[in-house]
Amino acid sequence: MSEADQAQHRRFIILGLPRSGTTYLMTLLNSHRDVTCSGELFNPYSVIETGEPDYDPDLRYKRDWGPRYFMRQFFERHEAEPWQQIGFKLMLGHNIRVLSQLPDLAQTRIIYIHRENRLAQVASYLKAMQTKNWAQTRRSRDMARKIVASPEEISHQWHEYATMDFLFAQWLGSLPNPSLTLEYCELFRPEFNARICAFLGLQHDSGMKSPLIKQGSNRVLDRFATPDPIESYMRYLGRANWLEDELV
């Protein structure tokens, strides 16, 4: 195995759409003693590596001019440290040049997360857009704030997400990379930590725990300011299961 292939064995990328569980997984993996996982390196508005986002326009321009070089630099910088696994989040839609390079990085592991309950995903997205709060480690007043949304708005966002996930899943199946596809609810099952460690070739760390807390009611319908039209629409479409508790 070449030195380049050996380096790739230490690399992984978390892929998914907003509110699919990517941040939860990132923070969970960062709690493992042998892992470093950065945030959205290719966020259009900032570079989110560790800590606070970096909004420096010069850094963003250089990144967007040479995204593949930027990614290689990121991995090589961390490979000089004793981490066993090094990764970052790439949201679908952030940078096509990074996404299109994945077939050339055949040893880099891909973790793809999707969310079957589209109503919960869209609710979480709309809540974050309204409060400007995308992740929380402690309770706040905004958590009780109800989401203002119409069935039409939910339908638009839901089908857009579903289409992107559908198309990406087809393409992912054609890649040579070791990959693991996860559904949001799987992340919270008791056996999940051992499963993700096994995929990454790590010893299970019993101390793994994400500091994030759930931002909305577990019963999805309770998150909306005007739930009746949404409930009627979902029941009519045969999606009543999306209205109840998401995590059981």
Residue 93 in domain: yes
Interatomic CA distance for residues 229 and 233, integer angstroms: 6
User: Strand, coil or helix: what is 92?
Assistant: coil
pLDDT tens, position by position, 13-31: 999 999 999 999 999 999 9
Q: Is residue 105 part of a domain?
A: yes
CA angle 54, 7, 175 (to 5 degrees): 85
Decide if 248 is inside a domain: no
Residues 79-85, mean pLDDT to the nearest whole number: 96
| DSSP state letter for 47 | B
Please give the Cα distance from 122 to 129 (Å, whole number).
Answer: 10
Q: How confident is the model at residue 6 (pLDDT cuts 50, 70, 90)?
A: low
Render the burial of 141-152: b for 16+ CB within 10 Å, e for the rest: eebebebebebe
3-state secondary structure of 71: helix
- CATH number (domain holding residue 122): 3.40.50
Note the pLDDT tens digit of each residue in 217-240.
Answer: 889 999 999 999 999 999 999 999
Residue keyed to tokens 């440290």? 81
The answer, yes or no, to whether residue 197 has pLDDT greater than 90, is yes
pTM summary value: 0.95
What pLDDT sits at residue 134? 84
Rounded mean pLDDT of the chain?
A: 93
Report the pLDDT averaged over residues 85-102. 96
pLDDT at 163 over 70: yes
Domain count, the chain: 1
**99-132 residue pLDDT tens:** 999 999 999 999 999 999 999 999 999 999 888 8
Residue in the structure block whose two tokens are 């460690």: 197
Residue 37 neighbours by CB under 8 Å, 6+ apart: 12, 14, 26, 29, 30, 85, 86, 87, 88, 89
What is the Cα–Cα distance from 131 to 123, expressed in whole angstroms? 12
Domain residue limits at 167: 3-243
